[in-house]
């Protein structure tokens, strides 16, 4: 039996208080509009349960009547997984399920509920002189549930790993409302399938994450942070190899930034221009974290040798204070958002083996220029782990719509190059609704078959993120 919208709302009013159900168009808007403003469907309502048991009741009800549910965290996802596809879904926001359950410095973990915002987790750790190393441009809005559902990466994956590697356990609610407790962490536990790792990265299509136990680490005693100008990408990769050799795990970031990306920020006064003279086509944000105050400065010494060998350009700088370090990081973190000042953009979140990054970018720029030589490439990202955000901005003299009409053609070029280099068409952001067709086309057919079997058995009524990740 299917229920009408009015029947659904009145049943939900028996589970939730009136402040926890939103169904007017204006009040729902901020839950419907995602960062790139690409998807524009309404929702039946937005629900903000206060507790795990309320969330379980919602799921039992939705499962019984086959009502589609969209788990939503901070709504910062970039592939439309957290917003409606059909217009009849219920968005379930985790915002009120956000408590700190435990902080254990000795054992190095923090146990939080899924709705806690990433920056708050970082702050709680910092207050105890500890570090939660996962950090992304959306840290002020992304929630831990969303971070794990998308297996987010960020700038320090190189040294600390992505969401999956930083997670010791999760708790989640399945489509039928049952509660899965995977919070127990043992160094050795071979008692069956690794269900935590199945749910991490499943983009809300298999379960709703309600809590997570996350690794925290001692904070570095001091950082060496540099913005290094390089002549070309092959030199950037050579620098990477040399720095890894010298610093090993202490090399906690090696980020590529294109001159165009910095120029947009300078033009629009998003950063302080004084510290960059913009002579190089590419820059590297390299950071070394030191855990012993007695340790020698690695980057400073490295700079002298690399400069003599003509590996780094004159406009390279090492941050002289924490304020300068923050400025350099701010510039890196604003790369994605600031591109909107250059008009429309066509974006790709892709990865290849780090040594293939120069080839990926050079081939991509060359091939896309054949369509129109005035398209402005803006590649940047986590060069140290092979993940590049390979973006293109519209030519200055081209209309927005005309440029966007090239999306399919440009995507085809970039994804073909990625596949020819044995890379991934989604390195960090996931599949959501944006890349669902592409996934079917490029992923191993047996992997797709296994994914569908898992989805069908955990969510037989297909209520969780219906129409996302997999075509059923």
Ligand X SMILES: Cc1cc2nc3c(=O)[nH]c(=O)nc-3n(C[C@H](O)[C@H](O)[C@H](O)COP(=O)(O)OP(=O)(O)OC[C@H]3O[C@@H](n4cnc5c(N)ncnc54)[C@H](O)[C@@H]3O)c2cc1C
Q: Which residues bind ligand X (CB under 6 A)?
A: 35, 70-78, 81-82, 94, 114, 136-138, 141-143, 145-147, 149-150, 152-154, 203-204, 208-209, 336-337, 428-429, 432, 465
CB of 426 to ligand X, least distance (A): 10
CB of 47 to ligand X, least distance (A): 13
**Residue in the shown chain whose Cβ atom is closest to ligand X:** 146
How far apart, in whole angstroms, are the C-alpha atoms of residue 141 and residue 159? Answer: 24
Nearer of residues 327 and 333 to ligand X, judged by Cβ: 333
Nearer of residues 171 and 327 to ligand X, judged by Cβ: 171
59 contact partners, CB below 8 Å, separation of at least 6: 69, 173, 174, 175, 176, 177, 208
CB 392 within 8 A of CB 410: yes
CB 268 within 8 A of CB 341: yes
CB of 343 to ligand X, least distance (A): 18
Nearer of residues 58 and 413 to ligand X, judged by Cβ: 58
Nearer of residues 311 and 350 to ligand X, judged by Cβ: 350
CB of 147 to ligand X, least distance (A): 4
Nearer of residues 35 and 377 to ligand X, judged by Cβ: 35
The 3-state secondary structure of the chain reads CCCCHHHHHHHHHHHCCHHHEECCHHHHHHHHCCCCCCCCCCCCEEECCCCHHHHHHHHHHHHHCCCCEEEECCCCCCCCCCCCCCCCCEEEECCCCCCEEEEECCCCEEEEECCCEHHHHHHHHHHCCEECCCCCCCCCCCEHHHHHHCCCCCCCHHHHCCHHHHEEEEEEEECCCCEEEECCCCCCCCCCCCHHHHHCCCCCCCEEEEEEEEECEECCCEEEEEEEEECCHHHHHHHHHHHHHHHHHHEEEEEEEEHHHHHHHHHCCCCCHHHCCCCCCEEEEEEEEECCCCCCCHHHHHHHHHHHCCCCCCCCEECCCHHHHHHHHHHHHCHHHHHHHHCCEECCEEECCHHHHHHHHHHHHHHHHCCCCCCEEEEEEEHHHCEEEEEEECCCCCCHHHHHCCHHHHHHHHHHHHHHCCCECCCCCCCCCCCHHHHHHHCCHHHHHHHHHHHHHHCCCCCECCCCCCCC
CB of 427 to ligand X, least distance (A): 8
How far apart, in whole angstroms, are the C-alpha atoms of residue 334 and residue 341? Answer: 11
Nearer of residues 306 and 470 to ligand X, judged by Cβ: 470
Angle 410-416-421 from CA coordinates, rounded to 5°:
130
CB of 337 to ligand X, least distance (A): 5
84 contact partners, CB below 8 Å, separation of at least 6: 32, 39, 41, 42, 43, 70, 91
Nearer of residues 94 and 352 to ligand X, judged by Cβ: 94
Nearer of residues 428 and 459 to ligand X, judged by Cβ: 428
Nearer of residues 51 and 277 to ligand X, judged by Cβ: 51
CB of 209 to ligand X, least distance (A): 4
Nearer of residues 138 and 394 to ligand X, judged by Cβ: 138
Nearer of residues 128 and 452 to ligand X, judged by Cβ: 452
Nearer of residues 378 and 406 to ligand X, judged by Cβ: 378
């Amino acid at each position: 039996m299917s229920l009408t919208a009015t029947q659904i709302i009145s049943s939900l009013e028996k589970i939730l208080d009136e402040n926890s159900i939103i169904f007017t168009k204006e009040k729902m808007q901020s839950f419907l509009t995602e960062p790139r403003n690409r998807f524009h469907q309404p929702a039946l309502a937005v629900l903000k349960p206060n507790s795990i048991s309320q969330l379980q009741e919602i799921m039992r009800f939705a499962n019984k009547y086959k009502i589609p549910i969209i788990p939503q965290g901070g709504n910062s996802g970039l592939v439309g997984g957290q917003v409606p596809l059909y217009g009849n879904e219920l968005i379930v926001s985790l915002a009120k399920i956000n408590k700190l359950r435990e902080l254990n410095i000795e054992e190095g973990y923090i146990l939080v509920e899924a709705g806690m915002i990433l920056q708050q987790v970082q702050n709680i750790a910092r207050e105890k002189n500890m570090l939660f190393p996962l950090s992304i441009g959306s840290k002020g809005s992304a929630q831990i549930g969303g971070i794990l559902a998308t297996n987010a990466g960020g700038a320090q994956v190189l040294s600390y790993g992505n969401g999956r590697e930083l997670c010791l356990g999760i708790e989640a609610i399945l489509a039928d409302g049952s509660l899965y407790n995977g919070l127990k962490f043992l160094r050795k536990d071979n008692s069956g399938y690794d269900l935590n790792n199945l749910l991490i990265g499943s983009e809300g299509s298999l379960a709703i994450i309600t809590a997570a136990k996350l690794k925290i680490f001692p904070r570095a005693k001091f950082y060496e942070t540099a913005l290094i100008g390089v002549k070309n990408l092959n030199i950037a990769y050579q620098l990477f190899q040399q720095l890894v050799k010298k610093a090993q795990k202490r090399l906690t970031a090696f980020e590529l930034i294109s001159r165009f990306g910095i120029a947009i920020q300078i033009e629009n006064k998003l950063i302080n221009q004084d510290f960059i003279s913009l002579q190089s086509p590419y820059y590297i944000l390299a950071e070394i974290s030191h855990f012993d105050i007695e340790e020698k400065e690695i980057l400073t010494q490295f700079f002298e040798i690399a400069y003599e060998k003509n590996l780094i350009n004159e406009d390279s700088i090492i941050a002289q204070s924490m304020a300068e370090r923050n400025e350099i990081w701010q510039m890196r973190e604003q790369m994605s958002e600031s591109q909107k000042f250059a008009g429309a953009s066509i974006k790709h979140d892709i990865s290849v083996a780090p040594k293939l990054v120069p080839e990926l970018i050079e081939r991509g720029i060359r091939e896309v220029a054949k369509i129109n030589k005035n398209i402005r490439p803006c590649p940047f990202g986590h060069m140290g782990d092979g993940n590049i955000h390979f973006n293109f901005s519209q030519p200055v003299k081209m209309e927005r719509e005309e440029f966007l009409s090239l999306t399919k053609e440009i995507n085809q070029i970039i994804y073909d190059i990625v596949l020819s280099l044995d890379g991934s068409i989604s390195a960090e952001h996931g599949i959501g609704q944006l890349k669902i067709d592409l996934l079917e086309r490029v992923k191993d057919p047996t992997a797709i078959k296994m994914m569908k079997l898992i989805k069908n058995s955990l969510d037989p009524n297909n209520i969780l993120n219906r129409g996302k990740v997999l075509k059923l």
